[in-house]
Amino acid sequence: MKSGIMRRFSCIRRWGIAFACVCLLLTGLLCGCGGRGTASAATPDPEASERSTIYVDSMDTFMELSAFGSTRAAALQAAKEEILRLNDILSIGLENSEISRVNRTGSGKVSNDTAVMIREALTLYEETEGAFDLTVYPLMELWGFVSKEYHVPTEEELAETMLRVGADRVVLDDETGLVTLDSGQAIDLGGIAKGFTSQRLMEIFREYNVESAIVSLGGNMQCLGTKPDGSPWRIGVKDPFNPDFGLSAIVKIVDKAVITSGGYERFFVDEETGTTYRHIIDPSTGYPAESGLSSVSIISSDGMLGDGLSTALYIMGLDKAADFWRSHRDSFDAILIDNNGNVYITEGIEGDVSSDHTIHVLR
Ligand code: ADP
Ligand code: MG
């Protein structure tokens, strides 16, 4: 019996297609190419182990894209153009983006790409029993995560805003791309857009016959193939208690994404109470999620799924997240770090993770 995620997984395939210093350093250290590349094609690419890197500031984050081989320059240019194009249609900060238009008028037709993301978000809403909800945007605004003028809301404000939250009231017509929201609702694809984008970049690289590439979209990593020398990529998972300098684990991957949601990424401290509020909202309470987890990394061949699930499993907490993995174990693996720094990994990546900490394996 195929789960919804697995069904969508094959569908996504068909759709074909700042951390700054630390990320730069990490990618340099962990992903640097060693030795001459072994070309697998009939005619070996003399530039198989030559690397180029570009940097893109988009989607509210800092991105680093590296590709190897003789077509790398053209592939990277195409990748950059695609990022900018996607930002234009998705950005909530741009008045004329597709998302802003829908939010302003309550309905509107969207392009194929936006429709794929909204469909994914609606499926995730069902699969995660509401933990992933693309309608939390009014709550993000209320808490000040949009304007960065942070504010702890009153119970009345929360209750009023919660009335507008619920992805079960968003309708997408897959045939026409018409999206309709319930009154007062607003949607935000911030929880999956970067994963969709990194997935798309892999498609572009393939179209350019690139065999080896790695991208970091604000710390969300996705890799094409292996490193040019045939070895797996090694991706660092940040220590949530020392995100600028520490690593909690390193995972080896081939052709996969490692997408992390961490409470350390965006947060504010209420000066009156000393309470920390983080940018991932639990739609069942309206409050920033406090599930006992500090960071969740999803390892999957599907970047968009990984992005959505990193947010959702962070909200679920360890026990529910482990159960969710058990019923979807063919689609992804995960590295979960709790508030005490304990590192949990799922069985599927048991041989691929190294860490200075004791690793607890979920089975
Ligand atoms: P980031 O994008 O900061 O790397 P995430 O992938 O975890 O981290 O996404 C967080 C973003 O997702 C928030 O900035 C917000 O736009 C959105 N978001 C917050 N809570 C939820 C939720 N429960 N469901 C869906 N999206 C959410
Ligand atoms: Mg996410």
Whose C-alpha lies nearest to ligand 1, atom 6?
A: 191
Query: Which residues' Cβ are closer than 6 Å to ligand 1?
Result: 132-134, 136, 140, 188, 190-191, 194, 218, 261, 265-266, 279-281, 283, 307, 310-311, 315
Residue 311 CB contacts under 8 Å (≥ 6 apart), including other chains: 131, 132, 191, 192, 261, 280
Measured torsion, CA atoms of residues 187, 281, 220, 357, in degrees rounded to the nearest 10: -170
- The pTM of this model reads 0.89
Q: How far is the CA of 191 from the centre of ligand 1 (A)?
A: 4
- Is the separation of the CB atoms in 92 and 101 below 8 Å? no
Residues of the chain with pLDDT under 70: 1-42
pLDDT, residue 332, reads: 98
Q: How far is the CA of 103 from the centre of ligand 2 (A)?
A: 21
pLDDT, residue 263, reads: 77
> Alpha helix (H) ranges present in the chain?
4-14, 20-31, 72-90, 98-105, 112-127, 137-142, 155-162, 193-207, 303-316, 318-326
Q: How far is the CA of 324 from the centre of ligand 2 (A)?
A: 16
Q: For residue 283, which atom of ligand 1 is closest to its CA?
A: 23
In 3D, which of 27, 24, 23, 17 has the Cα closest to residue 82?
17
Report the residue among 165, 261, 311, 320 best suited for mutation to probe ligand 1: largest number of ligand atoms under 8 A from its CB. Answer: 311
Q: Which domains does the chain have, with CATH numbers?
A: 6-88+191-362 (3.10.520.10), 95-190 (1.10.3980.10)
Strands 171-173 and 178-180: antiparallel
- Is the separation of the CB atoms in 123 and 133 below 8 Å? no
pLDDT, residue 5, reads: 52
pLDDT, residue 28, reads: 41
Q: Residue 10's beta-bridge partner residues? A: none
The span from the CA of 58 to the CA of 124, in Å, is 25
- Compute how many other C-beta atoms are within 10 angstroms of the C-beta atom of residue 79: 26
Report the residue among 19, 143, 281 best suited for mutation to probe ligand 1: largest number of ligand atoms under 8 A from its CB. Answer: 281
Q: What is the H or E stretch that residue 172 is in?
A: strand 171-173
**Collapsing DSSP states into helix, strand and coil, what is residue 194?**
helix
Whose C-alpha lies nearest to ligand 1, atom 26?
A: 191
pLDDT, residue 337, reads: 97
| Ligand with an atom nearest the CA of residue 266 | 1
Q: How far is the CA of 311 from the centre of ligand 1 (A)?
A: 6
pLDDT, residue 23, reads: 39
CA angle 48, 54, 57 (to 5 degrees): 155
Whose C-alpha lies nearest to ligand 1, atom 10?
A: 191
Q: Residue 249's beta-bridge partner residues? A: 237
Q: For residue 308, which atom of ligand 1 is closest to its CA?
A: 6
Residue 314 CB contacts under 8 Å (≥ 6 apart), including other chains: 261, 262, 263, 280, 289, 291, 293, 295, 296
Report the residue among 279, 290, 315 best suited for mutation to probe ligand 1: largest number of ligand atoms under 8 A from its CB. Answer: 279
pLDDT, residue 50, reads: 96
